[in-house]
Amino acid sequence: MARRSRTEKALQQQKDFETGVSDAEVLFEFAESDADSAKELEALISKLEREVTEAEVQSLLSGETDANNAICSLQAGAGGTDAQDFCQMLLRMYLRWAERKGFKVEILDEQSGSEAGIKSATFRIEGDYAYGLLATEAGVHRLVRISPFNSGGSRETSFASMFVSPEIDENIEVNIEDKDLRIDTYRSSGAGGQHVNVTDSAVRITHIPTNIVVTCQNQRSQIQNRAVAMQVLRSKLYELELEKRRAETADLEANKMDISFGSQIRNYVLHPYKLVKDTRTKFEQTNVDAVLDGDIDDFIKEFLLFKKTGKAAGSGGE
């Protein structure tokens, strides 16, 4: 049903493009002598340009799980409180991006920082090609700014990492044996009412062979948290298997480096100048505020093109 829905959308999109081009041709004939037609033509071309760009990006997504929902994990790295604050900034950036795309977001787990920000967060993004798009964001992100947590006003560098795995359905078999699991329950630290906060409803599952740990505390009961945690674990184990296959064909991206200097995929510089630059494609934007507010589609497109062609397309402006 999901594949059918995507196919129907693609067919409808093609019809809409044909209709848009036809309407533009008619408006073009009147635009020279009619100001209203000229304005309408300009708006139509802008709309078509935006929609065609989105279609081009989707055409670059042909992986087995690219169309799936995404399960994302953010982790603060080197940089202390600044890194935890940066981790929260990235969480907001991705949630804002998802909101713009019309995707559904669910926070599965969030660990608050000791002073500010968050130590880690796991969230699920539901929408067509969510995984294919967000997989381009996996890796280490680096922030350079004047620290708001340092009374000396010094420039600080901090790091956070993003890990993305596809949400897999029941049709994909992932073998998980009970003997390989260690399941711990603990008291939820998040919001959710009196019942959640006074019972051991939060669940932490450790997959002993791989040492993968997943947690969930935002559901209403221990049973629900365990079910969600198992779904996240299945997805992470599936992604791990995909990485092993890519490694065998020398196609594995270096997404699991240390969360520190020299391993970042993107730099966010707020001082002494403002610039966001992807170290893989060399694509850059000077409007840092817009990027941190979720405007990352250009970075995603550039990396998908880079991955397909092996060439960087260039840099952007404001």
Query: pLDDT-based confidence at 196, cuts 50/70/90?
Result: very low
Q: Cα–chain-centroid distance for residue 75?
A: 13
Instruction: Let me know the angle formed at the C-alpha of 120 by 143 and 260, rounded to the nearest 5 degrees.
Output: 40
Q: Is residue 65 a part of any domain in this protein?
A: no
Contacts of 253-257 with C-beta under 8 Å, sequence gap 24+, read 253/138, 253/139, 254/139, 255/138, 255/139, 255/163, 256/163, 257/139, 257/140
Output the pLDDT for position 53: 81
Q: Is residue 147 a part of any domain in this protein?
A: yes
Neighbours of 18 (CB within 10 A): 10
CATH of the domain at 94: 3.30.70.1660
| Residue where one domain finishes, among candidates 12, 40, 59 | 59
Shared-domain flag, residues 74 and 148: yes
pTM: 0.71
Shared-domain flag, residues 258 and 239: no
Output the pLDDT for position 160: 96
- Domain count for the chain, please give it: 3
Shared-domain flag, residues 14 and 147: no
Shared-domain flag, residues 137 and 272: yes
Shared-domain flag, residues 165 and 81: yes
Query: pLDDT-based confidence at 252, cuts 50/70/90?
Result: very low
Q: Is residue 45 a part of any domain in this protein?
A: yes
CATH of the domain at 228: 3.30.160.20
Q: Is residue 52 a part of any domain in this protein?
A: yes
Lowest-confidence pick of 14-23, 62-71, 273-282: 62-71
Of 187 and 147, the structure prediction assigns the larger pLDDT to 147
Shared-domain flag, residues 163 and 286: yes
| Residue where one domain finishes, among candidates 204, 228, 248 | 248
pLDDT greater than 90 at residue 122? yes
Shared-domain flag, residues 138 and 24: no
Encoded tokens for 165: 């795995």
Shared-domain flag, residues 118 and 187: no
Q: Is residue 318 a part of any domain in this protein?
A: no
Q: Is residue 315 a part of any domain in this protein?
A: no
Shared-domain flag, residues 136 and 185: no
Of 208 and 220, the structure prediction assigns the larger pLDDT to 208
Query: Is there a contact between 242 and 138 (Cβ–Cβ < 8 Å)?
Result: no
pLDDT greater than 60 at residue 194? no
| Residue where one domain finishes, among candidates 14, 34, 59 | 59
Domain that holds residue 290: 70-170+251-309
Shared-domain flag, residues 226 and 274: no
Percent over 70 (pLDDT), the chain? 87
Shared-domain flag, residues 75 and 156: yes
Shared-domain flag, residues 104 and 185: no
Q: Is residue 223 a part of any domain in this protein?
A: yes
- Average pLDDT of every residue of the chain: 85
Sheet architecture: strand order including 181-186: 181-186, 202-207, 212-216
- How many residues can be counted in the chain? 318
- Which of 140-144, 176-180, 311-315 has the highest average model confidence (pLDDT)? 140-144
Q: Is residue 15 a part of any domain in this protein?
A: yes
Encoded tokens for 162: 């993003």
Query: pLDDT-based confidence at 192, cuts 50/70/90?
Result: very low
Of 202 and 263, the structure prediction assigns the larger pLDDT to 202
pLDDT greater than 60 at residue 251? no
